[in-house]
Structure 1
């Protein structure tokens, strides 16, 4: 990921919706050294900010409605959440949650692309999103897994204006010359019941040690550390509640 600060149209935040917030707070604090700040206001619903030092890097909330599977959601920065929601709908996507205000922090909506991959959009006011990107312990890449790569290219380039760079079987997304994510075609390695989805990757100083530590903390190593041809070393993990995320070498392109 070359993006080092939030740009309109690019990823600005990731949020974990989890069945066990206390266990998740402990796990991610131990794994990434994140500090947890939970909003005490009842109307915040137990929402917590995860910080790297003083810098907010991710969010965590109890799963809603109760019983919803634990998952990470990727959010993209927009100038007008309502306009983007309408554009997404016009391009074949759907609005899972209509745009709404979040205190004085901003306005957000939850959307899905035509294949069903869910993401959110954030119109910043007092809160601009992640204060750090692409440094060890922060968001470093976002990846779409889908069975309709052609449809995804059409949808996301129209809605967000992303550039598309093809590299063999992998597609990279970018803005103004800065790559921030990619797209993977879902093949036979994905069971039919697994839906298209977005997944965050967090940058780490040492992929192998972080994967080993995650396993020791109760996570499952879904994809053991591997060196990508022409890319970074990476691994994919699943926390004890089922939240899947990736890690990659912070120095990798």
Structure 2
């Protein structure tokens, strides 16, 4: 796959206390297989869909007590320069740029409203080997209670254009505040931003929701529940596909979407 443009999601991984449990869960729900743990990199273990790298799982570092969660990485040609943009835009660096052998350079950050994300400057590891196909990453959305702060930050750090989705007359979209960021033109959307409403309990912090493509949304939900996962929203039909929001059995949030089941008209959008 070609290099990802700056600001495009290029990789995703998650930290699990029970890595074997996570492998069992995602093997069934998403059809993944797993490579060997890389002992030189903290037993980092890549996940594959039809032989192509799509994600990774890793145990927590000794002494760490972080909750299980998926982390989305955005492509950067220069992680050090992106780190400076993050700081000047009001974000916090949780991990300074760190070279990962010959694979590339990574950093972890938190945008001003609280959502955590990563940045990846590729070396030998370019990122996703497939996108938007069954078993692979499909989409992501930043969920935040302070959309103005998040929108300003991401547009300062990455070369994003932005469009707002207009609710129109659909009662299910009433009061929705949803923005789509694009790279290189509005025909290349890369990230959504959704305002968290009253339906989110106060204790849930801002986060990045990662969507994985599946051939059957309802079947994926059933498999997730069978393995101890929880359904939080959906399955629901949309112009983008039939989707559902879940957490796995260790509490990591993710979503599944069957893009072949898109129904309804695409919403109107206006430039921001």
TM range (shorter): over 0.9
Q: Which residue of 2 aligns with 1:14?
A: 12
Q: Which residue of 1 aligns with 2:197?
A: 187
Among residues 33, 58, 61, which one is paired with 1:61 in the alignment? 58
Q: Which has the larger radius of gyration?
A: 2
Among residues 122, 125, 134, which one is paired with 2:132 in the alignment? 134
Among residues 232, 242, 247, which one is paired with 2:251 in the alignment? 242
Q: Secondary structure at the match of 1:155?
A: helix
Q: Distance in 2 between matches of 1:137 and 1:33?
A: 6
Q: Distance in 1 between matches of 2:212 and 2:229?
A: 15
Q: Pairwise mapping of residues 90-109 of structure 1 onto structure 2 (< 5 A)?
A: 90-109=88-107
How far 1:39 moved relative to its partner? Answer: 3.0
Change (3 A) 1:103 1:226: same
Among residues 176, 186, 211, which one is paired with 1:201 in the alignment? 211
Q: Distance in 2 between matches of 1:196 and 1:157?
A: 18
Q: CA RMSD in A?
A: 1.6
Q: Secondary structure at the match of 1:22?
A: helix
How far 1:131 moved relative to its partner? Answer: 0.6
- Structure 2 unaligned residues grouped into runs of 5+: 167-176, 267-272
Q: Which residue of 2 aligns with 1:231?
A: 240
Q: Is contact 2:96-2:108 (8 Å) kept? A: yes
Q: Which residue of 2 aligns with 1:215?
A: 225
Q: Distance in 1 between matches of 2:121 and 2:225?
A: 36
Q: Secondary structure at the match of 1:129?
A: coil
- Structure 1 unaligned residues grouped into runs of 5+: none
How far 1:208 moved relative to its partner? Answer: 1.1
The size of the alignment, in residue pairs, is 248
Among residues 67, 72, 75, which one is paired with 1:74 in the alignment? 72
Which stretch of structure 1 is more off in the superposition, 113-122 or 187-196?
187-196
Among residues 26, 40, 65, which one is paired with 1:28 in the alignment? 26
Q: Which residue of 2 aligns with 1:113?
A: 111
Q: Is contact 2:6-2:159 (8 Å) kept? A: no
Question: Which structure has the highest strand share of the two?
Answer: 1
How far 1:224 moved relative to its partner? Answer: 2.5
